[in-house]
């Protein structure tokens, strides 16, 4: 039975614990309100980016400090706040709740839980806007961040502390790459933060489900602002996520943060700016839209050993329209980041998934962080693929090809097929070494063209089942020895010979060709 | 911010107070730059006092205290 006295006691205790705000806070009056924007007279001492409180418990962010009024954007209570209401300054800028307990949780950009689980008890906070680490505090990017995706880890390697952009049209698998990368950090001791900016709640729910099922939520935190959240929340989300990432980085941990996506962030900021009557520039974005993203991405860093050696690897996502990477936001973000992974819908629709355009994708710093074994074996890959593509285009004009050219074309097609990878299927470094070794050897000529994907998956299973010791012999930080290479190739040959499926389909494929 | 202009203080009370209290209030306002004091009686603040001098508001009303309690439980 409910004990009324107990409830009363609790209530009295709570009321006693209430600390009223100081009586002499600076105060202003709302003189106009609409579209989530309020203008306030008074409040002369207010700071830029200061959090304001409105009677009724609503909050706003001071963004326009003018001579005789202050412009602010409302976080909540758009339809409850009206002219004449008192607005109090809080004396502090927006803060994000931080702490270990945020792992596995979904929070809004101010650190309030949204997942209906236990209340957060952490009282530690970090300012949402924070200066990036200074030059001397930074170390060299020298540890790889394995995405588990062969095409990326072999040709566009990402290092811890790097900023690598994922860019492409809608429906090209941008988020899929980011989610796969998070899933691959399971045993890598990397904390992941997924920031959703203006995404559909349904797609976010899907991602959360995927992470939960894979057990990845334990080391992942989700900072969420969905498409129906007030614009200031969407604007704040990446900075909040970054504040949380910094908390871990300054404790010496490695963090991966995904901003999904920055084009919606720019749109949210444009909405705010236009409503605040700021002058519009190209594509109606305000003049400081570059600074909007540069100050965010500058906070990703690899700290020096003296500073604890932690890192934030940032993976921003930008959506292009009809493949136009020369639009305003894409060019801005491309120039800020240390490289980009360019996804193409044409590739995606022709079955190349992940749809990475290897020619247009680069990683400007990750090369030095790549594992020695992978770097050694994938050095030729990019060149070979480029040659194949050139040849493939040329081939469209003529049908009579000599045997040599035909062989090159078939090998190129097989190489491309090797880089295809199912979603949620991550390769370990050793898997990649095996696949790259086999796909660049003469052995591929024995495998029918359409069977490469199945062959690769089968081969890896075969090795795990029958030659587990082979993986133990591979030292991922050293170049593969010739001896080991031959060993891998002989195992692969063994698999080709014993794999019934391939032998059966081989004649069929040959007659078809 | 220092105020060079002459400002008047708007004092809101829930009920009228005696002369001694008024003197105290006026002294408080004078120190903070108010040249004169305008009194209003407003029962809706329930009790206590609200003083507004320029942009500064000193809100010692019962209403705001109750508001704070309501928000935090």
pLDDT in tens, A106-140: 999 999 999 999 889 888 999 999 999 999 999 99
User: Sign of the CA dihedral A416, A422, A423, A424?
Assistant: negative
**Exposure b/e, A475-492, CB count within 10 A at least 16 = b:** ebeeebeeebbebbbebb
- A117 vs A95, A121, A216, A389, B9, CA distance in Å? 21, 12, 17, 52, 49
Q: Do residues A115 and A233 share a domain?
A: yes
For residue B20, tell me if it sits in a domain: yes
Report pTM. 0.89
- Of A428, A437, A441, A456, the C-alpha closest to A378 is A437
The CATH number of whichever domain residue A409 belongs to comes to: 1.20.150.20
Domain boundary, last residue among A43, A60, A93: A93
For residue A112, tell me if it sits in a domain: yes
Rounded-to-integer distance, Cα A473 and Cα B26, Å:
87
Domain boundary, last residue among A319, A340, A370: A370
Please state at what angle helix A174-183 crosses helix A201-213, rounded to 10 degrees: 30
The CATH number of whichever domain residue A30 belongs to comes to: 2.40.30.20
Q: Do residues A363 and A508 share a domain?
A: no
**Is the pLDDT assigned to residue A506 strictly greater than 70?**
no
Q: Do residues A110 and A40 share a domain?
A: no
The question of whether A364 is a catalytic residue gets the answer: yes
For β-strands A86-93 and A70-74, DSSP reports them as unpaired
Q: Do residues A169 and A83 share a domain?
A: no
Summary mean pLDDT of chain A:
91
pLDDT tens string A9-35: 888 887 787 776 666 678 888 999 999
Q: Do residues A70 and A111 share a domain?
A: no
Rounded-to-integer distance, Cα A198 and Cα A320, Å:
16
pLDDT, position A1? 61
**Is the pLDDT assigned to residue A512 strictly greater than 80?**
no
CA of B73: which chain A residue's CA is closest? A14
Rounded-to-integer distance, Cα A264 and Cα A234, Å:
8
CB of A45 less than 8 A from some CB of B: yes
What domain range includes position B48?
Answer: 7-72
Q: Do residues A88 and A102 share a domain?
A: no
Contact B1 A44 (CB under 8 A): yes
Contacts of A126 (CB under 8 A, 6+ apart): A95, A96, A98, A243, A244, A246, A247
The CATH number of whichever domain residue A115 belongs to comes to: 3.40.50.300
What domain range includes position A486?
Answer: 376-512
ipTM confidence score: 0.71
For residue B2, tell me if it sits in a domain: no
**Is the pLDDT assigned to residue A433 strictly greater than 80?**
yes
Residues of A in contact with B58 (CB under 8 A): 23-24
Rounded-to-integer distance, Cα A301 and Cα A251, Å:
13
Contacts of A79 (CB under 8 A, 6+ apart): none
Q: Do residues A391 and A281 share a domain?
A: no
For residue A123, tell me if it sits in a domain: yes
Q: Which residue has the tokens 């003189």?
A: A31
Which of residues 85 through 104 in chain A touch B, CB cutoff 8 A?
86, 88
Domain boundary, last residue among A370, A387, A411: A370
The number of domains in chain A is 3
Q: Between A and B, how many CB-CB pairs are < 8 A? A: 45
């Amino acid at each position: 039975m409910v004990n009324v006295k107990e409830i009363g006691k609790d209530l009295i205790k709570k009321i006693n614990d209430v600390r009223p705000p100081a009586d002499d806070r600076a105060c202003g009056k709302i003189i106009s309100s609409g579209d989530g924007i309020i203008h306030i007279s008074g409040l002369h001492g207010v700071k830029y980016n200061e959090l304001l409180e409105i009677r009724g418990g609503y909050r706003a962010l001071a963004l326009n400090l003018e001579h005789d009024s202050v412009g602010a954007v409302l976080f909540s209570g758009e339809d409850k706040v009206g002219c004449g209401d008192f607005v109090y300054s809080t004396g502090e800028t927006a803060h994000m709740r931080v702490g270990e307990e945020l792992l596995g949780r979904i929070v809004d950009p101010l650190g309030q839980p949204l997942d209906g689980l236990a209340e957060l008890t952490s009282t530690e906070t970090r300012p949402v806007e924070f200066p990036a680490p200074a030059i001397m505090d930074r170390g060299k990017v020298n540890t790889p961040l394995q995405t588990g995706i062969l095409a990326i880890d072999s040709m566009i390697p990402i290092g811890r502390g790097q900023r690598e952009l994922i860019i492409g049209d809608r429906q090209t698998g941008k988020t899929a790459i980011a989610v796969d990368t998070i899933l691959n950090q399971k045993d890598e001791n990397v904390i992941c933060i997924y920031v959703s900016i203006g995404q559909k709640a349904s797609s976010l729910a899907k991602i959360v489900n995927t992470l939960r099922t894979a057990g990845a939520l334990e080391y992942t935190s989700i900072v969420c602002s969905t498409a129906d959240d007030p614009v200031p929340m969407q604007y704040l989300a990446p900075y909040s996520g970054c504040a949380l990432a910094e908390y871990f980085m300054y404790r010496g941990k490695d963090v991966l943060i995904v901003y999904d996506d920055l084009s919606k962030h720019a749109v949210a900021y444009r909405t705010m700016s236009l409503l605040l009557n700021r002058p519009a520039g190209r594509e109606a974005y305000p003049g400081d839209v570059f600074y909007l993203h540069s100050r965010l991405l500058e906070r990703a860093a690899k700290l020096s050993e003296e500073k604890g050696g932690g890192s934030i690897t940032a993976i921003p996502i930008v959506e292009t329209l009809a493949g136009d990477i020369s639009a305003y936001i894409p060019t801005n973000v491309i120039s800020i980041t240390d490289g980009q992974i360019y996804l193409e819908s044409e590739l995606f629709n022709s079955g190349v998934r992940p749809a990475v355009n290897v020619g247009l994708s680069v990683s400007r710093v990750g090369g030095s962080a790549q594992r020695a074994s992978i770097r050694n074996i994938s050095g030729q890959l990019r060149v070979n693929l480029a040659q194949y593509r050139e040849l493939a285009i040329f081939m469209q004009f003529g049908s009579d090809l000599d045997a040599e050219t035909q062989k090159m074309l078939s090998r190129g097609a097989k190489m491309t097929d090797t880089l295809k990878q199912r979603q949620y299927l991550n390769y370990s470094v050793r898997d990649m070494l095996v696949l790259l070794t086999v796909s660049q050897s003469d052995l591929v000529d024995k495998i029918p063209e359409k069977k490469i994907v199945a062959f690769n998956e089968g081969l890896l299973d075969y090795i795990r089942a029958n030659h587990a010791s082979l993986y133990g012999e591979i030292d991922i930080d050293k170049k593969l020895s010739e001896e080991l290479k031959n060993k891998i190739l002989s195992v692969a040959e063994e698999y080709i010979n014993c794999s019934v499926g391939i032998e059966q389909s081989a004649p069929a494929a040959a007659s078809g060709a | 911010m220092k105020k060079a202009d002459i400002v008047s203080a708007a004092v809101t009370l829930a009920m009228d107070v005696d002369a001694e209290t008024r003197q105290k209030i006026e002294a408080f306002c004078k120190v903070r730059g108010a040249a004169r004091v305008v009194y209003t009686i407003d029962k809706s603040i329930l009790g206590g006092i609200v003083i507004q001098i320029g942009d500064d508001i000193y809100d010692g009303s019962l209403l705001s205290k109750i508001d704070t309690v309501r928000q935090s439980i």
